[in-house]
């Protein structure tokens, strides 16, 4: 399959086969895809919780407007932001960069200070919003990887974050849930799987500026 065929194949899975499980290799692919997704300044203010626990997944149903996908999927991925991006987080990134790239502090000192000052001048709401934007970049990348790997998935904003945060004790981890991504394999009787995609023609969605 080329990438367009893969994207044609994927759809927002409405019904998973609860008896089919993703392999460890498939889950590791998603973990690595998550970690390799670009984020603003490379700060990675997002964490991903990987859940494969039917009893726990069942508890998500009530707080996800009774959408069964969270329980029936092989795994449930929860994308979370950190409560805040602090100077300590920024310094930790630059310290890691020095170690990985074996560079001197003089090379990055100016950018380190610039980034710390930039984030200090933002409100906590602005810093959190910036992190939330990163979760959508990650979500898009994960869904494309799922399509290529023939893993079914459905992106979900339809849940009560406060309830999910409490269920997973996220406050203790200084995290807030933003998005859910159930992943697994479509059920044979999911009628949506055979339906044609409904998309506007390219001429209505693409604007080309060509010299």
* Residue whose entry in the numeric block shows the structure tokens 């934007």: 133
Question: By three-state DSSP, how is residue 76 classified?
Answer: strand
Q: What predicted TM-score, i.e. pTM, was given to this entire model? A: 0.96
Each residue's pLDDT, cut to its tens digit, for the chain (211 residues) gives 599 999 999 999 999 999 999 999 999 999 999 999 999 999 999 999 999 999 999 999 999 999 999 999 999 999 999 999 999 999 999 999 999 999 999 999 999 999 999 999 999 999 999 999 999 999 999 999 999 999 999 999 999 999 999 999 999 999 999 999 999 999 999 999 999 999 999 999 999 999 9
CA 109 to chain centre: 31
Q: Quick one: tokens of 184?
A: 């697994």
Give yes or no for a contact between 152 and 185, defined as CB atoms under 8 angstroms apart. yes
Output the CA–CA distances (angstroms, integers) from residue 153 to 52, 82, 135, in the order listed. Answer: 15, 24, 16
């Amino acid at each position: 399959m080329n990438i367009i065929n893969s994207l044609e194949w994927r759809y927002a899975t409405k019904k998973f086969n609860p008896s089919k499980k993703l392999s460890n290799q498939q889950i590791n692919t998603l973990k690595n895809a998550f970690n390799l997704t670009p984020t603003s300044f490379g700060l990675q203010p997002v964490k991903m919780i990987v859940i494969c626990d039917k009893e726990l997944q069942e508890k998500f149903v009530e707080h996800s407007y009774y959408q069964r996908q969270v329980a029936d999927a092989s795994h449930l991925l929860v994308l979370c932001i950190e409560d805040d991006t602090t100077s300590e987080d920024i310094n930790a990134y630059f310290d890691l960069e020095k170690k990985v790239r074996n560079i001197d502090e003089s090379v990055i000192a100016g950018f380190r200070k610039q980034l710390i000052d930039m984030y200090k001048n933002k409100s906590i709401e602005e810093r959190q919003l910036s992190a939330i934007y990163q979760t959508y970049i990650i979500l898009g990348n994960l869904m494309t990887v799922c399509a290529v790997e023939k893993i079914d998935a459905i992106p979900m904003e339809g849940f009560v974050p406060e309830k999910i945060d409490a269920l997973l004790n996220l406050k203790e981890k200084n995290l807030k849930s933003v998005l859910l991504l159930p992943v697994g394999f479509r059920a044979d009787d999911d009628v949506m799987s055979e339906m044609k995609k409904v998309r506007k023609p390219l001429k209505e969605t693409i604007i080309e500026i060509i010299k």
